[in-house]
Amino acid sequence: MKEFWGRLGYYPVGIVDAVGHKGGIWFLSANLKFSCKILWAMNQCVTLEIDGGGRRWICSAVYGSPQATTRVELWSHLLDIGLCIQDPWVVVGDFNDILSVHEVKGGNYYSTRSSVFASTLDSCGLFDLTTSGRRFTWFQAFVEVLSRSHSDHCPLLIRCQEVPIKKENRPFRFQAAWATHPDYKAIVQKSWNSTDFGIHRKLLGVQEASLEFNSTVFGNIFIKKRELEAYLNCIQQKMEADDDPILKHKEEELRAEYNLVLAQE
């Protein structure tokens, strides 16, 4: 697994291995400029101190046990952490519990468990970012629930203080995804054979033809990916309120198309 994540540009900074098919937490980072230090780890939670960008903060990754009696250990662990730290603290993951009846569909709601969960968060000084983002005093943040593709869990993206990206001229980069299109080989051959003015001119011709192909035929796979994610997310939101088989079929089609774009990416 470390080799797999490494190929995607991530490196592990905190791991709690799964026991059989149960549990397991991987805390990964893609920013080598940030210092990550494990402070505490247990089978339902890994907590790191993250230092970078002129800011130090604490992040706890949670995977709560599906057994309510075992989750008590998690609540106690979070309460202990809350007593030990002074830095800003974000806790993210799957708690396997809910705060209100509005957060569950097709399952049971237990008010006693909800009260214990809410009391734990309150005692830790934690609050729900989805509803209290503007009360976040150290920097603005909110949680975005992304569309799911290969898991029954939706990814959660915590967005913190937007930083504008400076656009600069970028050098030409060959995209291996172009080779997945059946027409690309012929375009390269045609461009390569269209001039007799040496290797350099031939390469420039292939570059120009490739960029034109990307713009008019292949399209930007990253834009396609975002559009499919948005469409997939919209369909899945509708499915939460309506079990229409047409929506289910459309979701399957979108997932297949999304998988193709991921392969190209």
Mean pLDDT of the chain: 81
pLDDT digit string, tens, across residues 1-47: 778 888 888 888 888 888 777 778 988 888 778 889 999 999 999 99
Which of left, alpha, beta for 14 (phi over 0: left; psi -120 to 50: alpha)? beta
Max Cα separation, the chain?
Answer: 79
Average pLDDT rounded to a whole number, residues 117-144: 65
pLDDT confidence of residue 136:
39
Domain range list for the chain = 2-126, 176-218
| Mean pLDDT along residues 151-164 | 65
| Fold of the domain built from segment(s) 2-126 | Deoxyribonuclease I; Chain A (3.60.10)
- How many angstroms separate the Cα of 4 from the Cα of each of 1, 11, 61, 176, 225? 5, 10, 20, 19, 21
The whole-angstrom separation of Cα 27 and Cα 75 is 20
Cβ atoms 256, 232 nearer than 8 A: no
Look-up: residue for tokens 């990550």?
A: 36
Whether residue 162 has pLDDT greater than 60: no
Contacts of 209 (CB under 8 A, 6+ apart): 187, 188, 190, 191
Tell me the pLDDT band of 62, cut-offs 50, 70 and 90. Answer: very high
% of the chain exceeding 70 in pLDDT = 83
pTM equals 0.55
d(CA 237, CA 123): 33
**pLDDT exceeds cutoff 80 at 186:** yes
